[in-house]
Chain A
Amino acid sequence: DVKVTQSSRYLVKRTGEKVFLECVQDMDHENMFWYRQDPGLGLRLIYFSYDVKMKEKGDIPEGYSVSREKKERFSLILESASTNQTSMYLCASRSPLGGANVLTFGAGSRLTVL
């Protein structure tokens, strides 16, 4: 089975700190995604990457950047964390199964910014 591993399950950071959220998948998938999930707002796409060093903005990229130096790793970076970035962050990897939209998600990283 595909496994998507997010480095930290829970993080607490202070306003202005730089935050790195790491995501690793073990099945050589080309597509990887970062979402955030907030009560009442559902899952919203921040960024996605369709290949190494390739990225595209999602619906809410402001305040975030990403890095994909290796195929298996997709990092989300908060350059200067703010309290409105307190959220659950979810990484996903896309199966190439015939072009189907089968995503495998990590367990999530719950970030609190004080």
Chain B
Amino acid sequence: DAKTTQPPSMDCAEGRAANLPCNHSTISGNEYVYWYRQIHSQGPQYIIHGLKNNETNEMASLIITEDRKSSTLILPHATLRDTAVYYCIVRAIDTGRRALTFGSGTRLQVQP
């Protein structure tokens, strides 16, 4: 799995967009970018994933650069409930017999 690099922490004002970056310069052509988050004392929650096209769902948008070496998770209107640790994971589609590896992620603090 390609290594990912994320800033350890970020702040965002409530109601503003939160843009969380992730670098994955060694990503392979068959590897997807996944985003999860973990709110304090809860299990991680899947947010979104993508291969090369930008993706959007009800939670967030995922922007992947054309060279696929970095990506940005966008929470369009951050709320206090979005305060969490956000994990960027790069992984190829497989049989699921290997576990996902969660790094240290980015701790997002949404300020009122």
Residues of A within 8 A of B (CB): 4, 30-31, 33, 35, 42-43, 45, 48, 50, 56, 58-59, 88, 90-92, 94, 98-108, 110
Chain B interface secondary structure, helix, strand, loop or mixed? Answer: loop
Question: Which chain B residues in 45-104 approach chain A with CB under 8 Å?
Answer: 45-46, 49, 89, 91, 93-97, 99-104
Contacts known (A33-B99, A42-B104, A48-B99); A101 close to B43, Cβ less than 8 A: no
For B, the interface residue count at a CB cutoff of 8 angstroms equals: 23
A98 CA to B94 CA, complexed, in Å: 10
A99 touches B94 (CB 8 A): yes
A101 touches B32 (CB 8 A): yes
A-B residue pair count with CB separations less than 8 angstroms: 63
In the complex, what residues of B have CB within 8 A of residue A104's CB? 46
A70 CA to B102 CA, complexed, in Å: 28
From A91, A94, A102, B49 is in contact (CB under 8 Å) with: A102
A42 touches B102 (CB 8 A): yes
A104 CA to B42 CA, complexed, in Å: 12
Q: A4-B43, A100-B49 are in contact. List 11 more A-B contacts (CB 8 A).
A: A31-B97, A42-B102, A43-B44, A43-B101, A48-B99, A56-B97, A92-B44, A99-B96, A101-B96, A101-B100, A105-B43
A105 touches B93 (CB 8 A): no
In the complex, what residues of A have CB within 8 A of residue B101's CB? 43
Interface centre among B41, B44, B91, B96 (most CB of A within 10 A): B96
B49 touches A105 (CB 8 A): no
A110 CA to B45 CA, complexed, in Å: 18
B41 touches A108 (CB 8 A): yes
Jot down 16 A-B pairs with beta carbons below 8 A, ordered by A. Answer: A35-B99, A42-B104, A59-B99, A92-B43, A99-B96, A100-B49, A101-B32, A101-B93, A101-B100, A102-B46, A102-B49, A103-B100, A104-B46, A105-B45, A108-B42, A108-B43
In the complex, what residues of B have CB within 8 A of residue A108's CB? 41-43
Closest A residue to B92 by beta carbon equals A101
